[in-house]
């Protein structure tokens, strides 16, 4: 019997500062284990012996990437800055291979 997944809490019930984002992780066998990368975040990649290890490394690398970008914006050369969240809808066309 499959385990029932818990529904995520509404944003209003999350602790301050805790948010979630969904990214596309791409995994592939590279002949020397498994490699993977986050499609939306240029430069976030990992390698490991299996997909579980790569998934864990990608999670850590994504958190580090986001933390570094947040720190960069806090140390802005612009002085006082305004920060706000934007909800952006991105409509992607379905990939159709040629041929």
CB 44 within 8 A of CB 37: yes
Q: List, edge to edge, every strand of the sheet that includes 45-48.
A: 25-29, 34-38, 45-48
- Statement: residue 51 has pLDDT above 90: yes
Instruction: Write the pLDDT tens digit of every residue in 59-80.
Output: 999 888 887 776 656 666 666 6
69, HSE (Cβ side, Cα atoms, 13 Å): 10
pLDDT bin (cut points 50, 70, 90) of residue 38 is: very high
């Amino acid at each position: 019997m499959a385990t029932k997944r818990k529904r995520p809490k509404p944003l209003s019930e999350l602790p301050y500062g805790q948010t979630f984002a969904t990214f596309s992780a791409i995994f592939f066998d590279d002949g020397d284990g498994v490699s993977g990368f986050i499609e939306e975040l240029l430069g976030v990649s990992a390698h490991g012996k299996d997909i579980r290890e790569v998934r864990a490394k990608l999670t850590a690398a994504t958190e580090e990437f986001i933390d570094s970008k947040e720190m960069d914006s806090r140390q802005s050369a612009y002085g006082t800055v305004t920060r706000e969240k934007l909800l952006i809808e991105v409509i992607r066309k379905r990939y159709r291979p040629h041929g």
